[in-house]
Amino acid sequence: MEKGRQLYEGKAKKVYATDDPALYIVSYKDDATAFNGEKKGTIVGKGVVNNTMSNIIFALIGEAGVPTHFVRQLSDSDTLVKAVTIFPLEVIIRNVSAGSFSKRYGVAEGIPFAKPTLEYSLKNDDLGDPLINDDHVMALGLASEDELATVRKYAHRVNEIMSRFFLDKGLRLIDFKIEFGRLPDGTIILADEVSPDTCRLWDIKTNEKMDKDRFRRDLGKVEETYQEVLARVKGE
Ligand code: UDP
């Protein structure tokens, strides 16, 4: 499958058309941004790590019955995916307090929740991706009640699958962001990516941060950590 016209360039990926209108090629970049684009950098090898890791996890999620956009990996940094219209929502599940949750509510990081907590942000860089609730999503006409119910159900299922998977690799899934899209027939599927850019993963034994917080917070060993996470995900 050949790359056609570039349809979109985001912070971490480019999306290309193919000769099949139902399929796109996603190309992962090494570019890294944080704090709504204020901090910029390069994490050498990140594109390959995120592409490969995302595909392994999407395959697992698909086998567990949650449909995803993954079709097949084309190269180290390119993947063939189903073309979807993305809901402009970041769906975030948290198992343990961290990041913006801790900041917003004034609580320490690392407090486990009694049950997984789901929240949405509106994908809008100009507005700084504001928090948004179910009623707001419907008021803005971004998704129907039934679609939101499916998104919530799938997101919790993805959390169960990934929490178990990462635990087996010696990693605690603290929180993560996923995105969903709609196929032309209305089917809702998981899209975008699952990687150290979009998950917080803490080492079970040392509590070391094994994710993009190493870049965001200048913790060092950024490249090494991405490689280490991929190696664990691959079972190496
Ligand atoms: N996240 C993401 N993209 C975003 C915002 C958050 O992938 O634009 C991920 C982030 O890596 C973390 C989870 O979503 O795993 C929760 O992030 P949080 O709301 O705590 O925001 P942050 O502290 O990253 O600004």
Domain boundaries, given as residue ranges, for the chain: 6-82, 85-221
Mean pLDDT of 24-51: 97
Over residues 44-49, the mean pLDDT reads 98
* pTM, rounded to two decimals: 0.96
pLDDT at residue 98 greater than cutoff 90? yes
Query: What pLDDT shows up at residue 100?
Result: 97
Rounded distance from Cα 188 to ligand 1 centre (Å): 22
**Residue type for position 229:** V
The CA 142 to ligand 1 mean position distance, Å, reads: 21
The string of pLDDT tens digits covering residues 71-96 is 999 999 999 999 999 999 999 999 99
Check if the beta carbon of residue 43 is closer than 8 Å to that of residue 215: yes
Residue 185, Cβ density class (10 Å: 0-12 exposed, 13-18 middle, ≥19 buried)? exposed
pLDDT at position 1 over 90 = no
What percentage of residues in the chain have a pLDDT greater than 70?
A: 100
Q: Which CATH class is domain 6-82?
A: alpha beta
Rounded to an integer, the average pLDDT of 218-236 is: 97
Burial of 105 (0-12, 13-18, 19+ CB in 10 A): exposed
> Is a pLDDT exceeding 90 seen at residue 148?
yes
Segment 46-73 shows an average pLDDT of 98
Question: Looking up tokens 């094994």, which residue turns up?
Answer: 210
8 Å CB contact between 53 and 231: no
The yes-or-no verdict on residue 137 having pLDDT over 90 is yes
Q: How far, in Å, is the centroid of ligand 1 from the Cα of 185?
A: 30
Q: Pocket of ligand 1, candidates 100, 126, 225: which has the most ligand atoms within 8 Å of its Cβ, to mutate?
A: 100
pLDDT of amino acid 44: 98
Which atom of ligand 1 lies nearest, measured to the CA of 36?
8
CATH number at 85-221:
3.30.470.20
57 pLDDT tier (thresholds 50, 70, 90): very high
